[in-house]
Structure 1
Amino acid sequence: MTRIIQTLAEISDRYDVLFCDLWGCVHDGVAAMPAAVAALQAFRAKGGAVVLLTNAPRPKPSVMRQIARLGVPDDAWDEIVTSGDAAQYALVNGAVGRKVWHIGPAKDLTFFSEMAADLPKAEVDLVPLDQAEGIVCTDLFENLTEQPEDYRARLLLAREAGLPMLCANPDLMVDYGHKRVWCAGALAKLYEEIGGTALYFGKPHPPIYDLARRRLAARGIELAEDRILCLGDGIGTDVAGAAGEGLDALFVTGGLAAAEFGPDADHPQADLLDRWLAARAAAPRWSIGKVR
């Protein structure tokens, strides 16, 4: 049974490293969450390391710029690892071919232009659907107004052509301020439902965790697996990913599923939480209303 805690500090002595989700835990897409930032700063001040482990489809440099604009300071984290980073490895190794149709907004074009220094060099051309060998999906073109069903006809054409889809963000949806918007994972899910093939590299899948470990090791940070805590509000991404990696999880109930646990997002009701988790066969070691 998950134990509800009130602050990260209650359990921080048990862990040396946090794999911390970003959207919904540290910021809401509009601004940083001050209490969460303070909690991460306090964890680092005691000698811990914080990896912002995010399903953002853009590479690390782009996310660094984004969170700086939102007010997340540099002293709140040690490393950033994105789903986009992990997916780039697959792209340059030819997982979906060299001619790809990109589904996503212009701001996500950094996925193709900002590559990590340790990636092999590879030419990838962005082409229309009818010329593509594969698909790279980073987001909806207009996620504030569009629905996954708006893409059904184009995805049916892609399926008929046998195009694999590289999904750079497995999240189904996120909260943008007070508005809930769809993500690339919803398009990949629809593509699979109609018979297409989708490839995933972000949470809860292993590649993003492997990359996080490698980047910490490159910094000289040794990892004891039982001293890593995964923190996030996605039951199917953050919590499921932690379970798959054999790591402890801190489920942030005041995020995507906040309405399920009573009227006070900061203080989830234990009975509602236990029933909700049991229905999903999920058993995070800890839960918290909001990161603080």
Structure 2
Amino acid sequence: MHNTRSSRGIQDLVDLFDCFIVDQFGVLHDGMRPYPGAVDALVMLKRAGKTILVLSNSGRRSAPNEQRLLRLGFQIGSWDYFLSSGEVAWKRLDRLLRERGGAEPLKCLLLARGGDRSAVEGLPLEIVDSGADADIVLLSGSMGDRFDMDHYRRLLEPAAARNVTCICTNPDKIMLTEVGPRFGAGRIAEVYAEMGAPVMRIGKPFPEIYQIAVEMLGHPPAIRTACVGDSIEHDIAGGRRAGLPTVLVGTGILDTLSRAEKAELFRRHGAAPDYFLPAFTW
């Protein structure tokens, strides 16, 4: 990997950085269970005096994501902050809807995973089942392990025909599931955009979520803040655009890719990582 330094574990980077911005899916766990050594690595990193912010392209708000980490076996107190794209989107929507004042609630077509409603809880939105009725589409998750893309096309075509804005709160194009990698919400958003309708994306690799993360960390020196992730397109490209050092792990969506295939992704996205770890272990 050109210009990328290989390390055995996160311990090798402890003296280089004060703050770690760590992705969850593909780095800490696969959605069903922690990766071997990840629980202990997070604990040891915190014991080493580091500040840790878990940064996720999850359409769910931050609190449900933290609760999931605890259910998976991660230890309370082994991270300092959690920020999800769903949290950023919820706060932005809350602000915009408050500015609308006493107008009738917007009709929202919500596309989420597993019936999750945290993306809209507490917001003055009327949830509808058809794109034909929607004033806004909120795309917070994919059920790509249950439905094919044609299902989403049929659902979204009536909204696209009316030029309804889609807010995608999970830009990941690939997600990890029990049946293997499947298309994520970010890919559904691409299809909606291909229909000619407007799409607003919130999350990695876009600047806003990194600005909020750095603010939560207290604006530490960029050179002492590392972004750790498994997605070259989202974690590595996003961290580099934010001016932060990046650490790529070989688990998650890259697990089956060859060295040459990774190099091609570096070239395509213009984002080679500064460091490579086989996995998020101590």
Aligned to 1:238: 235
C-alpha separation between the residues in 2 aligned to 1:106 and 1:281?
A: 34
Aligned to 1:192: 193
Matched, 1:41 2:43: yes
Q: Is the 8 A contact 2:106 2:125 kept in 1?
A: yes
Amino acid at match of 1:229: A
Matched, 1:90 2:87: no
Deviation, structure 1 residue 280: 4.0
After superposing the two structures, state which structure 1 stretch, 148-157 or 3-12, moved more.
Answer: 148-157
Q: Is the 8 A contact 1:24 1:233 kept in 2?
A: yes
Deviation, structure 1 residue 251: 0.8
C-alpha separation between the residues in 2 aligned to 1:282 and 1:239?
A: 6
Paired residue secondary structure (1:256): helix
Against the structure 1 CA distance between its residues 33 and 75, is the aligned structure 2 distance closer, same or farther, given a 3 Å change threshold?
farther
Deviation, structure 1 residue 38: 1.6
Structure 1 residue ranges without an equivalent (≥5): 115-121, 262-268
C-alpha separation between the residues in 1 aligned to 2:68 and 2:36?
A: 16
Aligned to 1:287: 276
Q: Is the 8 A contact 1:87 1:200 kept in 2?
A: no
Against the structure 1 CA distance between its residues 54 and 135, is the aligned structure 2 distance closer, same or farther, given a 3 Å change threshold?
same
Map 1:168-183 to 2 at 5 A: 168-177=169-178, 179-183=180-184
Q: Is the 8 A contact 1:169 1:184 kept in 2?
A: yes
Q: Is the 8 A contact 1:255 1:290 kept in 2?
A: no
Matched, 1:150 2:139: no
Deviation, structure 1 residue 273: 4.6
Deviation, structure 1 residue 216: 2.9
C-alpha separation between the residues in 1 aligned to 2:138 and 2:264?
A: 37
Deviation, structure 1 residue 234: 0.6
Aligned to 1:117: none
Paired residue secondary structure (2:256): helix
Amino acid at match of 2:120: F
Q: C-alpha deviations, 1:194-216, integer Å up to 9, x for none?
A: 21111111111122212222333
C-alpha separation between the residues in 2 aligned to 1:276 and 1:130?
A: 38
Matched, 1:224 2:221: yes
C-alpha separation between the residues in 2 aligned to 1:210 and 1:70?
A: 29
State the number of aligned residues.
272
Deviation, structure 1 residue 233: 0.4
C-alpha separation between the residues in 1 aligned to 2:157 and 2:178?
A: 32
C-alpha separation between the residues in 1 aligned to 2:175 and 2:250?
A: 14
Aligned to 2:140: 138
Amino acid at match of 1:257: L
The alignment yields a C-alpha RMSD, in angstroms, of 2.1
TM-score by length of 2: 0.89
TM-score by length of 1: 0.86
Structure 2 residue ranges without an equivalent (≥5): none
Paired residue secondary structure (2:217): helix
Deviation, structure 1 residue 255: 2.1
Against the structure 1 CA distance between its residues 178 and 38, is the aligned structure 2 distance closer, same or farther, given a 3 Å change threshold?
farther
